[in-house]
Chain A
Amino acid sequence: MDLMTEVQNRLSEAYEGRRLWIALTEKLKFGNRDYVIVMPSLDAKLNYVSLLYLDQFAANKKAEKIYLVTLDEKVKKAYPLFTNRLEGCIDLSEDELNSLIKFYSLYMFTDKLVIMSFARPQGRTGENLIGKKGITLEELVSLGLYQNEEFVKEERKFYSGTDPDVAAFFQSALGVSESWSQGEGRTMQDHRYDGADIPRCMK
């Protein structure tokens, strides 16, 4: 495919993202203090930390309504264990999410869309800072992605419930890296998973 055609394709995708954003904000009666948090990554650790610091973001921004967009089904199940500030999650297909990010890549049309990713929009490189000068993933998420003014460490959350997806999410997030040293910050405030907590996604 020649480059000019590809330019047109990407612009069309961005246009689709615009249409989607307008439709979403109209449907949700989006206000000045409402936000959409997008978690495009399937990286459990990043998504876990993003959920862990979401309440701080909500408080700092004095957010009224916050919606979540994620492709990770486990995140959809697990988020009520981290926060009660979310109105719910918006169910978008991968193509729809891609078009939204493509629109964001074209120009910053809003400051109410927060993309919790170090790789998207494509070209972000911030994750290279993890481990440099003692900077942690949590700090980068809180300060860099959520733009909090200061870093206030959150206590980690653990799960001892029976839902296999949620258990797998916690396992992937907490068990894959040595930097999450065993027991560090552990408070034993386990969150029991209750099937009734399954969030309903909006379309």
Chain B
Amino acid sequence: MNSWKTLKQNLDTLVHNKLLDKKYIILFGANKTAEVMVNHLARKGVAIGGIIDNNKRMHGKDFLNTVISFPEELLGAFRDDAAVLIASMYYHEMKLQLESMGYTEGKHIFQVMDMNHHDVNFDLSEEAFKKAEEKVRKGYEIYQKIIDRYGEVSFFMCPKKPNGDVYILCSYLKTYLNKPDKLDLQQKPILLTVIGKSAASTASMFDIDYVEALSLEDSDNLAAFAKLFPEKVITLHPYFPHFHFYSYVDGYKGLNFIDEFKYGLFGLDENDKPYKPNIVNRAEELHKLFQENRLEPGNTVILAPYVNSLAQIDWRFWEVLAEELQKEKYVVCTNCTREETPIKGTIPLYFEFRDAIAVTEKAGYVVSYRSGFCEIIANSSCKKVVVYPDVMKRFSHVMQFFGMDEEIYRTENLIEVGNTFGAVDELVEYVMNHFRRR
């Protein structure tokens, strides 16, 4: 993800310019960016002093072995050596909060990444307006190019990248289109734009007439056009800033991510059912994959540690788990791309999304961190252990908010684990209880 690269470069600049030397380093916001910052700074030999967050539901929770505190707790008594690092779309408000406590931007407060680069920009200058205007024009050109290629279509876009989100969207898109009041949309072929080839592979499993993979930049430009022309392009994502307010009600009264798509975006009811993706079984490829990697049908555990949108857990968990599984005579592999590093001692395993269900069913077992991969294998009958970080999503725990005890997932062999354990070994032990040979 390019933004992580930018974040790391910005941190490197702070370190290089010695702005963090002998400082009491605090991260504001316990989120995915904080995880990237903690890990990157650790690699640079820079230790953080604490993590602060205004969300009282996160207060006291463990975040990468650091307890989350309120800003007042760590910074209430003024510390001139404080360096507060912020990468949040709420930077402006956070800065004001810290300034009211006596801290100064540039000396104590550092914005390590502008998270509002596309949709939020508290800038009223002509230049800012022209930039936004330019995006709309580029978005118009992309729209026109697509229309020229496909003709009149019912045009939908998923403006966010995660595969899991695309999967959920596609699960309900046809249900939505089959509603009697959507006749006008039904009469034209359906076109969906997504970001990247991986998301396109996911969408292609759902019999959508046309799936168009866009670059992140093109998708952002198209989204800018869609904001001014919602009657031309229907944008489908609850976190499409800054139109929707779903993120502020996440988890309220048990409202989960799927509800936000199903009830909120699509306006469906409890009785409306999702569509299942087409499952292929390419027996020859499957056989080849198992043979080449020496995988044992029914005795292979696929570990899926990689995640883009949630804070990662201690990597040691995966390494210890792999060792323990191997002691129990399982073949252990890591589901990773060619750019990602497999877990130490495991077989790197890459397969296409359309084969994911067949591969995991033949392998027998998956242990996955909660990521879009869990949607890709939503309908696999393999035994699935899904690990969630111990963090909140506004009003509920991530395990409730992104939980898989839902109609789009097969749940008969599903075990969900919230990482509320004090130590890695305890979490490994808990997971291993589901794998010990009798």
Contact = CB atoms under 8 A, between A and B. Distances in A.
Q: Do A and B bind each other?
A: yes
Interface of A: 3-4, 6-7, 10-11, 14-15, 18, 21-22, 32, 102, 104-111, 121-126, 128-129, 132-135, 139-140, 143-145, 147, 149, 151
Given A126-B244, A135-B252, A10 B121 contact: no
A132 B245 contact: no
Contacts of B352: none
Nearest 7 pairs of A and B residues by beta carbon: A144-B245, A123-B230, A108-B120, A108-B242, A128-B267, A132-B263, A107-B132
Interface in B212-262: 224-232, 234-235, 240-246, 248-249, 252-255, 259-260
A69 B302 CA distance: 57
Given A106-B129, A106-B228, A143-B252, 19 more contacts: A3-B140, A7-B137, A14-B133, A106-B132, A106-B136, A108-B116, A109-B121, A123-B227, A125-B265, A126-B246, A129-B260, A132-B255, A132-B259, A133-B254, A133-B255, A143-B248, A144-B246, A144-B248, A147-B245
Contacts of B265: 125, 128
Contacts of A6: 229
A111 B124 CA distance: 12
Interface of B: 54-56, 92-93, 96, 116, 119-124, 128-129, 132-133, 136-137, 140, 144, 224-232, 234-235, 240-246, 248-249, 252-255, 259-260, 263-267
Contacts of A143: 248-249, 252
Contact of A123 (B128, B235, B259): B235
Contacts of A15: 129
B56 to A, nearest CB: 7
Given A7-B136, A123-B235, A107 B128 contact: yes
Nearest to A136: B253
Contacts of A110: 122, 124
A105 B226 CA distance: 10
Contact of A139 (B56, B240, B243, B252): B252
A149 B54 CA distance: 10
15 contacts: A3-B140, A7-B136, A7-B137, A11-B136, A18-B124, A22-B124, A106-B136, A107-B128, A121-B243, A123-B234, A132-B264, A133-B259, A139-B249, A140-B245, A147-B245
Contacts of B248: 143-144, 147
Contacts of B267: 125, 128
A62 to B, nearest CB: 9
Contacts of A109: 121-124, 128
B247 to A, nearest CB: 9
Contact of B263 (A7, A102, A124, A128): A128
Contacts of A3: 140, 144, 232
B255 A129 contact: yes
B120 A10 contact: no
B122 A122 contact: no
A130 B379 CA distance: 30
A145 to B, nearest CB: 6
B395 to A, nearest CB: 8
B264 A121 contact: no
Nearest to B225: A7
B227 A111 contact: no
Contacts of A140: 245, 249
Nearest to A135: B253
Contacts of A139: 249, 252-253
